Amino acid sequence: MGATFYAVLGIYAAALVGISAWSWFQTHTEADFLAAGRSIGPVVGGAVLAATQISAGTFVGTAGRHYLTGVSWALVWFGVWAGWVVSALWVAPKLRRFGALTVPDYVSVRFGSRAAGALAGILIVISYTIYLVAQFQAGGEIALAVFGIQPLTAMLLIVASTALYTLLGGVRSSSYIEFLQTLIMVGALIVAVPVLLYHAGGLTAPLRFLHSLDSRLTGWYYGPKDLFAFAIAFGLSIAAAPYELTRFYSMRDEKTVRRAIAICIAFQAVIGACILSIGLLTRVLFPNLASQDQATAIMAFEVLPPLVGSLLLVAMLSAIMSTVNSILLVTGAGVAHDLYGKFVRPEASEAHLVRVNRIAIVVLAVLPVYFALQKLGDVQAIVVEQSKFIASFFFVPVVVGLNWRRGTGAGAIAAMIGGFLACLVWEFTGQASFGKLGIDAVEVGVVTSLALFVIVSRLTPPAPREALRIFFDGS
């Protein structure tokens, strides 16, 4: 595969450089850098939303879960899509109408509290730094399994290449690059599945083999309670995920946002079905891999024709880069726009804030590499934990806050802190003590966040009417 892979990679890299260079000349203000001048249409926007969420957690982690546990994990997708529906109906249109640059902007204005906005920015940086660990760990797994490259080298290459196009054109370059990445992902997966079916002997024989290997692979490896908890974690986090919500600000209008979400779900349905097939068929062909996270990479290298395998490996790289790019944009904005620009240098110029954004992106890109090298868990486990935390501290202030006008700044602060701590404590202490109850940390976190939001909001003065008027017609 060597020569073919490097040829495909070279063409892909040339496309990234071309789009990044074009975007550099289009980026002059902070709105250009963080919102692409509000110019993104529904097809590109839908592909961006799909690429942002289809990460290493999907190509490496989800495929690995299917390899290890079989078909039941696929039901988690319905939680993801439910989250998108919630976003399309009750979140995205209002956020786009507001037209800010970041999600903490929304928190500050909606609740009339700069402190709430600052807290949102801090929690975003912390939680998405954890998410970056999963992306870099996946890149290390692929490089080691396929090319024998040390994980640290692979991680630094991903940091350098992704940070470069993120720095040059911000959201504009990332949007068009992620559109390209989504097309590569979908195309590579659609071609790969029939090839795998051919090598595995069709559809019936692989299913019989999997059932004989472990009947749970074709049935219920996870129980309904476990699957519900996983689906809730992904669904609630998608409905309020800052790295997805900020993409709404770059789209033309509310109608564009809704159409983009529908296109995103269509892309994800195709990708999800293909990832399920790849995980199962790889288990048939290679039943004893050392790590489930190597399943897709080994399959691409050992089974697929050179061109198809090369496209799939580039697609995996694209999935990692697209998510890393989106995380760097939202965390860099959290540091530069939401913290530095509002509390340290409120008088800073647009050009200065763009420079600070770029510096923050470089620092935040390098920081998670150390933790990724420690391999604190498999890729999907890290993604699930991050999703639980996002849902626990952000779902209520965003989704409920956009649809309940009585919410206050103090209520939002209590909801974010309480949800985060409740999820953290239950995950690492309560789960061990009360695991027989079947209650997951995300359920504890979200319920705690909601209870605190309602109680504290009722006990504190309402948010300013000027702020409410932006989000609630007739207020």
Specify the pTM: 0.81
Q: Hey, how many other C-beta atoms are within 10 angstroms of the C-beta on 111?
A: 26
How many Å apart are CA 416 and CA 397, to the nearest integer?
7
pLDDT in tens, 369-399: 888 888 777 777 787 888 889 899 999 999 9
Mean of pLDDT values over 43-61: 84
Spell out the residues 6+ positions from residue 299 whose beta carbon is closer than 8 angstroms to its own.
192, 196, 278, 281, 282, 285, 286
Residue keyed to tokens 């720095």? 167
What's the gap between Cα 37 and its chain centre?
Answer: 23
pLDDT in tens, 86-123: 988 888 888 888 877 788 888 999 998 999 999 999 99
Mean of pLDDT values over 20-32: 83
Mean of pLDDT values over 336-346: 88
In the chain, how many domains are there? 1
Contact 418, 457 (CB under 8 A): no
CATH code at 272?
1.20.1730.10
Q: Is 150 helix (H, G, I), strand (E, B) or coil?
A: coil
Contact 19, 180 (CB under 8 A): yes
* CA atoms 155, 161, 163, 166: torsion sign: negative
In eight-state DSSP terms, residue 426 is I
How many Å apart are CA 422 and CA 169, to the nearest integer?
38
pLDDT in tens, 230-256: 898 888 888 888 878 888 888 988 899
Q: Is 408 helix (H, G, I), strand (E, B) or coil?
A: coil
Mean of pLDDT values over 432-444: 73
Residue 52 CA: distances (Å) to CA of 78, 112, 324, 404, 425: 18, 30, 8, 28, 29
Residue 368's domain comprises 2-471
Predicted pLDDT at 475 = 44
Query: Which residues lie across from 40 on neighbouring strands?
Result: 251
